[in-house]
Amino acid sequence: MAAALPATAAGTDTAVFAGGCFWCTESDFEKLPGVINAISGYTGGTEKNPTYEQVSGHATGHTEAVEVTFDPSKVGYAELVEYHWRHIDPTVKNQQFCDRGPQYRSGIYWKNAEQKKIAEASKAALEKSGVLKAPIQTEIQQANKFWPAEEYHQDYYKKNPVRYKFYRSGCGRDTRLAEIWGSRPK
């Protein structure tokens, strides 16, 4: 059973990002001041109300993603995009860290023309900066329906802190991020 989406409160906005395992992406975004909540789920596919098993079986075209609810007076969409870049490896296709397959592709899913403009400009600036040693593979596409993942995936890092830390460490996420972006992602 998928978790219910909270109603978006007045004065808040949402954004959707994919960065490999949604447990890690959710955990990273929930640490950012101005982010109210992040929900693990699926986007980018065709199946209605997909399950984890379906997405993992490559049957739906979805990727693991998070829907981030944020307060635009405290953190802007451009800051969220920049934050996202520094918490993924944008140079790989259909994988992130130890997780492989199209369900782990990275992405920025825009909701309107302004978000699209910001995401594309950010990507262009990152490419021009020369920081990355390979081309960016992260997809930037119009957001389609976001489907919340099953309840046991929500706040996994809080519910299962030991298992989560073991998974994140064993997957090499933070080690690879340090190689790409320096000692500590910003």
171 a catalytic residue: no
CA separation for the pair 103, 95 (Å, rounded): 8
Query: With 0-12 CB in 10 A as exposed, 13-18 as middle and 19+ as buried, what is 82?
Result: middle
Pairing of strands 147-148, 99-100: unpaired
The sign of the dihedral angle between the CA atoms of 34, 38, 43, 49 is negative
From the list 21, 24, 98, 171, the catalytic residue is: 21
Query: With 0-12 CB in 10 A as exposed, 13-18 as middle and 19+ as buried, what is 52?
Result: middle
Question: Which string of DSSP letters, residue by residue, matches 134-166?
Answer: S----EEEE----EEPBGGGTTHHHHSHHHHHH
- To which residue do tokens 């739906």 refer? 60
CA separation for the pair 143, 185 (Å, rounded): 26
Query: Catalytic amino acids?
Result: 21
